[in-house]
Structure 1
């Protein structure tokens, strides 16, 4: 179990409204979540902390 929480829930429609008049691009990841990226980050950080 990780020592921190990296889970954030964003409202898609609210994000679309916020970026409407900007040059920002809203990208949706397959599956609608970042669990694979989070898992990689947790592994890298866990390995780092084991070494210090």
Structure 2
């Protein structure tokens, strides 16, 4: 499953996550994983014309 977020949507999501209180190990792991995903976008390969 893939989603695309523009810069404003990503900023809104990060703002929301910044306000969430993580209390347990599972919440901290989930939070860390989300931050990792949002700060390391998938790099698409360069598409070159091959003729």
TM range (shorter): 0.3 to 0.5
TM-score by length of 1: 0.36
> Relative contact order: is structure 1 or structure 2 higher (C-alpha 8 Å, sep ≥ 6)?
1
TM-score (norm 2): 0.37
